[in-house]
Amino acid sequence: MDQLRAKKGFICDMDGVIYFGNNLIPGVKEFVDWLYKEDKKFLFLTNASAKTPKELRQKLQRMGLDVDESHFYTSALATAKFLSRQKPGCSAYVIGDPGLYNALYDAGITINNVDPDYVVVGETSNYNYDSICTACRLVLEGAKLIGTNTDLTGPTEQGIMPACRALVAPIEAATGKVAYFVGKPNPLMMRTGLSKLGVHSEEAAIIGDRMDTDIVAGVESGLDPILVLTGVTTRDVMEQYPYRPRLVLNSVGDIPG
């Protein structure tokens, strides 16, 4: 644990690590207070694409935790950055919520349901058959298929629910095209996270509840991979993977000591 506490930077997942649904996970406030007290550099790096950093900050404020907007980075922002660099001034047909739309608009990407360069899929409660059909038609006509992240499921107060990869799957199946996913564990998002922190990967830890995104991202990017058991992964599930976190904690509340 001393090795973890000595790290200069912390990249933390949000769903299942900081909160569960609309409830702060016990020990999180103490952890964030410790980050500020010890002058640690930290970033909440989330694969969720539905909310903007401002909305995420306000969500935490409603739970009694105030964190500056600069400490949030989402897969929507990473996707917008990726597309704007791949094809500046491009257009996209979007299946997603306001956080994704806002990120794309801010990057100069226009919305287009006629002949877009890309079909972009993120989490949304407005997922429906018509949008799937439109996405399939556009992909078959040449639009490139992009997913904001590879999460198959996500934790909610109602239990485990489908996430981005599950929403992309019908489009892949119907078109025969394979999506490109931008969020964790894609090195593009990890490098951006480290750049925003201003620390080297060896000086940072990644804390998450998912083996297939957070922990593998840490292993492959050289960050110290720390698993918490407050989200989707149990110790039994962890054993099914060929790679391991360096530490398994009950929650981030274990870190301040």
Residue 156 phi, psi (nearest 5): -135, 170
Residues sharing a CB contact under 8 Å with residue 123, sequence separation 6 or more, in sequence order: 48, 49, 50, 96, 97, 148, 154, 163, 164, 167
3-state helix, strand, coil in the chain (%, to 5): 40, 20, 40
Asked whether the beta carbons of 161 and 153 are under 8 A apart, the reply is yes
Q: What is the C-alpha to C-alpha distance for residues 104 and 100, in angstroms, rounded to an integer?
A: 6
CB of 15 closer than 8 Å to CB of 46: yes
Pairing between β-strand 153-156 and β-strand 159-162 as defined by DSSP bridges: antiparallel
Q: DSSP secondary structure string, 3-59? A: HHHT-SEEEE--BTTTEETTEEPTTHHHHHHHHHHTT-EEEEEE---SS-HHHHHHH
**Which position has the token pair 């199946």?**
173
**What is d(CA 94, CA 43) in angstroms, rounded to the nearest whole number?**
27
So which residues are the catalytic ones?
13, 15
Cα 37 to the center of its chain, rounded Å: 26
Paired with 104 in beta bridges are none
